[in-house]
Amino acid sequence: MKYENIQLSMAQPLAVLTIDRPKKLNALNKATIKELHHAFKALNKAKEIRAIILTGSGEKAFVAGADIAEFANFSVKQGAQLAANGQEKLFNLVENLATPVIAAVNGFALGGGLELAMACHFRLASDTAKMGLPEVSLGVIPGYGGTQRLPQLIGKGRAMELIMTAGMIDAPTALAYGLVNQVVPQEELLPLCKKIASRITNNSPVAIGYAIKAVNAGFKNTINGYDSEIEAFGNCFGTADFKEGTTAFLEKRKADFPGK
């Protein structure tokens, strides 16, 4: 498969995957999700690859979210399909990959971007990074696992506040919350990820694959949560709030939600 929205660089046993739509702040459109699905599957199959770093192109963003322009006119059914397909093809795939995936959060990680970072096995951030789930400011909810993985990582109360305020936290706050493991200056981020990856790749790939499976198994009781997220996400697409939220974003103005 020819990649147009991502870059893949390999220095065995490590692969670096870079989401490469800097003009759109690396927003996840359908094509990018498809390419990432393909790349993760291929890298997981490649025997010589023992760790993957995922990052965003440019200095501004990891990923600024799902591509709002692409889904603004979706129906309830298309909304639910978007979430279900994305969860299966990318977010759950990454979370359950037997090869370790480290997120190098090099800037904005918002909405689907933070959800993607949270699906990775752990996260390191640059001191410029900003993280949040702004979906409710658009009249929708996180649909790529965010309502499940954020409380798992930072606790229910903090997750509720972050989701409801649609706010952003800076890197030191994300570190204090346990959302990221370390924060370093931008230029040190990839070298640090590579250093940690090289410690991982010294160890047994088979044992690491089993460890990932075992850790994830402890969270599987939330499986229905993912299903209710998909249903609620789809329902948002039938609301006037969603139409107003996405239209306002694309027209670069503040949303005026009609509400209940």
- Please identify every residue annotated as catalytic: 115, 135
Residue 251 C-beta: closest distance to ligand COA, Å = 11
Q: How far is CA 161 from CA 57, 142, 158, in A?
A: 29, 14, 5
Q: According to CB under 6 A, which one of 100, 111, 145, 234 is a site residue for ligand COA?
A: 111
234 binds ligand COA (CB under 6 A): no
Please identify which residue in 20, 24, 76, 170 interacts with ligand COA, judged by CB under 6 A. 24
In terms of CB distance, is 14 or 62 closer to ligand COA?
A: 62
Task: Enumerate residues 134-153 that contact ligand COA by CB under 6 A.
Answer: 134-135, 138
Instruction: Give 65 or 100: the residue with its C-beta nearer to ligand COA.
Output: 65
The number of residues that bind ligand COA (CB under 6 A) is: 16
Binding track over 44-83 against ligand COA, x by CB under 6 A:
--------------------xxxxxx--------------
Task: Between 206 and 256, name the residue whose CB sits nearer to ligand COA.
Answer: 256
Residue span binding ligand COA (CB under 6 A) among the ranges 4-12, 72-80, 90-98, 133-141: 133-141
Is residue 110 within the footprint of ligand COA (CB under 6 A)? Answer: yes
Beta bridge partners of 8: 17
With beta carbons less than 8 A apart as the criterion, state whether 38 and 69 touch: no
Closest to ligand COA by CB, 139 or 151: 139
Contact 229, 141 (CB under 8 A): yes
Please give the residue ranges that form the binding site for ligand COA (CB under 6 A). Answer: 24-25, 27, 64-69, 108, 110-112, 134-135, 138
